[in-house]
Structure 1
């Protein structure tokens, strides 16, 4: 670690207790990179010890996330109507999705949250989703500031190749906006189909892929949230740690 990261960690320990970052520090040990991982989790770069090795999660099982889940599902009709209008009339608000592994033109995104902040330009384009996200994810601190929230639109015939995302300490929530027949997602060894108006929750450190074999676009609203099994001191430390690592990699 760098002196800056050491100083941040020391401050968090002084405030919350000496052992509060034990799992984060254990994650950084080189020997941890491949030990005690699920076989379909090996490609993830960072795996925080003690997070259950569970690919699929019940979105209604976590009190911290439940207000967001309920608000998204209850507002689905308005969110869908606004997204459809934006897709038809404000297509320029969408862009090719830039995954850390690849950029795909047949995977379009409208960002609501990115680079640690809400995307203000998207509020008039998708006001209901923006409001729900702000009130129940950003203001409550359940969104992971290292990542994002966006409308994810897969064009007919598009496929997202099997991959693992970077880490297991955040978790991916999907609200199914518009789902054609033939659109599915696989996480680890289980394939599911989205149900319009309902949410799915999964650990994307496990290998996953998605495809749209339907005859129209498939759209979900995605939000990267803190894994419910992380603590507040860990979240603070992980945000500082990953931000510093990203700066070093960019430099």
Structure 2
């Protein structure tokens, strides 16, 4: 990599121990890691993380309180989101995935570019408060990524793709789900149930669609994968931040 990345890694090892980020170093410096065929297009696969596409949202002690808080707040979140959509539609924007930008995939961001989107606090206060209290302040959000309301318009689809890496995991709270919607991860298709969460590893190939007659909205939260450690997370933030600087 670069001397700057070497220095970042050494600083983490000085604080946490020489073996604290072995898996991160293996990911960066070793040859391409063995991976599941349906992770083939992911950029980074950190070794030692379970090759498990779908997760029970309640199975991880770190994530379970987040799931319960969002599910408990679903009613208020749905009402606030509906008002934001109808009254202040300009707050939504075309979703910009690292692979594409889609006009029929709209987003209202709560966390982006390493920090909270404070303008969203007044629009969707329940979701913003839960995200801040249960996720951001607890260090569970992967700050390299984001949290947003994801709205697929009728007829929209998201083509099969892998996201960038396996060291974060994607939580979906189903907000408003018409008939005819679904998501497939690693060949297994599931439907969102309003007020409930889905949790999956999006380094596996996945796709989604809305064949219904109204928008489909979920709240998406990019969490650290629960099988990563605090030193690894520190090193990963430094690594990806430095790479993004180099890429401009």
The aligned counterpart of 2:72 is: 74
The aligned counterpart of 1:193 is: 191
- Indicate the SS of the match to 1:184: strand
The aligned counterpart of 1:62 is: 60
Q: 1:89: how far off? A: 0.3
**Deviations for 1:99-136, whole angstroms, at most 9, x for unmatched residues?**
00000000000000001111000000100000000000
Measure the CA separation in 1 of the matches of 2:29 and 2:159.
30
Which portions of structure 1, spanning 4 or more consecutive aligned residues, are displaced by more than 3 angstroms?
none
The aligned counterpart of 1:25 is: 25
The 5-angstrom pairing of residues 159-238 of structure 1 reads 159-238=157-236
- Indicate the SS of the match to 1:224: strand
The aligned counterpart of 1:89 is: 87
Q: 1:236: how far off? A: 0.3
**Deviations for 1:7-66, whole angstroms, at most 9, x for unmatched residues?**
11111111111011110010013522xx42101001000000000000000110111111
Q: 1:206: how far off? A: 0.2
Gaps of 5+ in 2: none
Measure the CA separation in 1 of the matches of 2:165 and 2:65.
25
Measure the CA separation in 1 of the matches of 2:116 and 2:152.
23
Measure the CA separation in 2 of the matches of 1:21 and 1:171.
19
Q: 1:67: how far off? A: 1.3
Gaps of 5+ in 1: none
For normalisation by structure 2, the TM-score amounts to: 0.99
For normalisation by structure 1, the TM-score amounts to: 0.98
